[in-house]
């Protein structure tokens, strides 16, 4: 009797002690298994909810917390043992499915995949309706097969996941179904792949938008390219609440929905690429979609232009295409809408007669500068009408353009019509800014004769003197006026850039000692550039034919900058020369 009383007292004392420990550790334990916030991406690891934690007694909670702590430390063999101990000690606990999954996952992460699969199967055998645990178990069985290189077995498992209405909605199913859909597509089972993509899109539209949006694009491709079917595409559009990144409120009548038909146009254009060997397939494709798109939105230019392009693809009749576009223009043109005329010139860019026809409809004095600029771009880049484009510069009202626009125009014209650039730069309201833009233009052309005088003028400008001096040095450098370039660089305040340039000017004049001296200055005062300076010194000696100094300088790079990329280059060069590696004694 005394022994029984002592045992009861002992259990009571242990219970109190554990309760005190858990009370102190409660914040830590709660932090180890927080309720998952809404929208947080799922992980492969199951978690006990706060409600589930409340159903555990003190001893169960303590044992699980201990096992979880070991799991979180990534000591997976020991974690598997801890979860196994829990299963043996508390066989009737409501946390059994959790502990089973965690034990299996521990074995899985310990690379004991065969043993892990057995335990995952226990979850499916005994708790198939506990979706929170059974679905991850099924997913991870497939993952074990996948990681073992058994792709077919993995797909069979994940196909079971796809076939179960509850399991297929679990967050982990998005990954499983994606693998399955990709596998089916690879195996040529396009119909089943599309059905699986549709399942992902529907099940995870809000839960996993990234997976859902990827799946939506796959289904669109199927119903547009693989098995063209506008009715099924429309039904799918309703099922996933639009093809945007997020579900949308849809119009009741999709037959007149510009948003829906805009998606159709985009899809037909995107998936309508065919090679020369697919001419018959291309004709059927565009004929099918032209028929589906025809008869709608007569006032929608973009729609009618794309429809005309689709018909051209199978009719191969440019004259009929031109007739359709002319008719669309006349149907919708309003007086003074010069931007629309410019758009039609772009459409007809490869048809010179039509370009001139629509060009004649323009009244430049009434056009916005932006429309004239756009027309200029079309004529230069698409219509190959440089002469016509050049004439447009005189149509621009430069006085209405801000200097930033003039600078953009000057830079655009520089490679196309350089003779026009000077006048545009001279039209700047800010004359100094215009001069600076013109100097940059001459710098780009390496025209020192015209650029250096402008640079000299700008040396008096507090805003632009620094940049002008540097550009002057570069112009002189590029035109081999090395002494003058050195003089300009020496006044620049942008080391080490000016020091590199000065060293190069000396080297180009075969003044080796002066070039090396400049590089030594870089090496001494600019530590981030020191390895490069040292290697350049070695290269100067090589180019001068001074082999002993070249070798010594390479050894110095090895000695002073052993961790640098330049050290590796020096090592390779010494090997090429057949020189034994050594320290920097010779260099010294």
Q: Would you state the pLDDT for residue 168?
A: 95
Pair 324, 348: CB distance under 8 Å: no
Query: Among 26-35, 72-81, 253-262, where is mean pLDDT lowest?
Result: 26-35
**Cα gap 415→445, rounded to integer Å:** 10
| Residue 524 within any structural domain of the chain | yes
pLDDT higher than threshold 90 for residue 587: no
Q: Would you state the pLDDT for residue 28?
A: 34
Q: Would you state the pLDDT for residue 353?
A: 97
**Cα gap 394→249, rounded to integer Å:** 50
| Residue 538 within any structural domain of the chain | yes
553's tokens: 């300088």
User: What average pLDDT does the segment 8-33 reach?
Assistant: 37
pLDDT higher than threshold 90 for residue 24: no
pLDDT higher than threshold 70 for residue 16: no
| Residue 526 within any structural domain of the chain | yes
User: What average pLDDT does the segment 14-27 reach?
Assistant: 36
| Residue 562 within any structural domain of the chain | yes
pLDDT higher than threshold 90 for residue 20: no
pLDDT tens by residue, 105-114? 999 999 999 9
User: What average pLDDT does the segment 48-69 reach?
Assistant: 93
| Residue 111 within any structural domain of the chain | no
pLDDT tens by residue, 454-512? 999 999 999 999 999 999 999 999 999 999 999 999 999 999 999 999 999 999 999 99
| Residue 584 within any structural domain of the chain | yes
> What share of residues in the chain are helix, strand, coil (percent, to 5)?
75, 0, 25
Higher pLDDT, 12 or 185: 185
**Cα gap 177→174, rounded to integer Å:** 5
pLDDT tens by residue, 547-567? 999 999 999 999 999 999 999
User: DSSP string spanning 543-570?
Assistant: HTT-HHHHHHHHHHHHHH-TTSHHHHHH
* pLDDT tier for residue 581 given thresholds of 50, 70 and 90: confident
pLDDT tens by residue, 204-222? 999 999 999 999 999 999 9
Pair 174, 197: CB distance under 8 Å: no
pLDDT tens by residue, 415-432? 999 999 999 999 999 999
| Residue 530 within any structural domain of the chain | yes
pLDDT higher than threshold 70 for residue 15: no
Q: Would you state the pLDDT for residue 17?
A: 38
Query: Among 20-24, 254-258, 303-307, where is mean pLDDT lowest?
Result: 20-24
| Residue 251 within any structural domain of the chain | no
Question: Residue 558's closest CA among 586, 525, 578?
Answer: 586
**Cα gap 98→83, rounded to integer Å:** 9
pLDDT tens by residue, 394-406? 999 999 999 999 9
- Segments forming the whole domain that contains residue 575: 496-588
- Residue 527 sits in a domain whose CATH number is 1.25.40
User: What average pLDDT does the segment 28-47 reach?
Assistant: 44
**Cα gap 318→326, rounded to integer Å:** 12
pLDDT tens by residue, 305-325? 999 999 999 999 999 999 999
Provide the domain count of the chain: 1
pLDDT tens by residue, 371-399? 999 999 999 999 999 999 999 999 999 99
pTM greater than 0.85 (yes/no): no
Give the CA dihedral 323, 328, 334, 335, nearest 10 degrees.
-10
Query: Among 38-42, 84-88, 279-283, 466-470, where is mean pLDDT lowest?
Result: 38-42
For the chain, give the mean pLDDT. 91
CA distance readout (Å), 231 to 3, 196, 224, 261, 284 = 81, 19, 11, 12, 17
Match 């300076």 to its residue by tokens. 533
pLDDT higher than threshold 50 for residue 29: no
């Amino acid at each position: 009797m005394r022994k029984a009383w002592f045992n009861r007292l002992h259990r009571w004392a242990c219970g109190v002690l554990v309760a005190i420990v858990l009370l102190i550790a409660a914040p830590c334990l709660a932090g180890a298994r927080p309720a998952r916030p809404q929208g947080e991406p799922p992980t492969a690891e199951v978690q006990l909810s706060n409600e589930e934690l409340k159903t555990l007694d003190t001893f169960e909670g303590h044992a699980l917390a201990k096992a979880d702590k070991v799991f979180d430390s990534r000591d997976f063999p020991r974690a598997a043992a801890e979860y196994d101990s829990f299963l043996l000690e508390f066989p009737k606990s409501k946390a059994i499915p959790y502990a089973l999954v965690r034990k299996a996952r521990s074995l899985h992460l310990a690379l004991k995949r065969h043993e892990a699969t057995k335990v995952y199967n226990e979850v499916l055998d005994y708790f198939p309706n506990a979706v929170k645990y059974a679905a991850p178990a099924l997913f991870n069985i497939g993952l074990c097969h996948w990681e073992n290189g058994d792709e077919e077995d993995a797909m069979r498992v994940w196909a079971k996941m796809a076939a179960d209405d509850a399991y297929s909605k679990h967050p982990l199913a998005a990954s499983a179904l994606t693998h399955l859909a990709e596998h089916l597509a690879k195996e040529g089972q396009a119909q089943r792949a599309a059905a699986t993509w549709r399942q992902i899109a529907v099940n995870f539209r809000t839960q996993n938008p990234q997976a859902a949006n990827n799946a939506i694009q796959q289904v669109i491709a199927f119903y547009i390219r693989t098995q063209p079917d506008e009715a099924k595409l429309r039904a799918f559009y309703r099922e996933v609440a639009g093809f945007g990144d997020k579900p949308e409120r849809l119009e009741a009548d999709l037959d007149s929905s510009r948003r829906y038909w805009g998606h159709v146009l985009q899809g037909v254009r995107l998936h309508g690429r065919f090679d020369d060997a697919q001419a018959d397939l291309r004709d059927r494709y565009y004929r099918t979609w032209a028929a589906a798109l025809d008869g709608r939105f007569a006032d929608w230019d973009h729609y009618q232009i794309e429809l005309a392009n689709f018909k051209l693809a199978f009719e191969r009749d440019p004259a009929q295409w031109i007739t359709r576009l002319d008719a669309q223009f006349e149907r919708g043109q309003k007086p003074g809408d010069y931007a629309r005329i410019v758009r039609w010139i772009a459409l007809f860019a490869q048809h010179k007669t039509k370009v001139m026809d629509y060009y004649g409809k323009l009244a430049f004095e009434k056009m916005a500068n932006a429309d004239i600029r756009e027309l200029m771009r079309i004529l230069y880049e698409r219509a190959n009408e440089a002469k016509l484009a050049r004439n447009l510069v005189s149509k621009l009202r430069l006085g209405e353009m801000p200097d930033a626009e003039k600078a953009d125009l000057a830079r655009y014209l520089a490679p196309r019509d350089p003779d026009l650039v000077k006048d545009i730069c001279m039209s700047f309201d800010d004359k100094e800014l215009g001069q600076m833009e013109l100097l940059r233009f001459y710098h780009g052309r390496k025209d020192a004769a015209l650029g250096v005088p402008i640079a000299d003028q700008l040396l008096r400008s507090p805003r632009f003197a620094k940049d002008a001096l540097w550009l002057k040095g570069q112009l002189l450098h590029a035109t081999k006026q090395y002494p003058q370039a050195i003089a300009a660089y020496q006044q620049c305040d942008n080391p080490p850039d000016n020091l590199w340039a000065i060293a190069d000017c000396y080297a180009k004049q075969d003044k080796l000692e002066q070039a090396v001296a400049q590089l030594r200055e870089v090496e001494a005062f600019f530590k981030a550039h020191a390895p490069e300076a040292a290697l350049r010194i070695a290269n100067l000696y090589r180019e001068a034919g001074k082999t002993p100094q070249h070798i010594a300088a390479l050894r110095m790079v090895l000695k002073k900058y052993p961790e640098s990329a330049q050290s590796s280059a020096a090592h390779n060069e010494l090997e090429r020369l057949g020189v034994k590696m050594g320290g920097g004694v010779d260099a010294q």
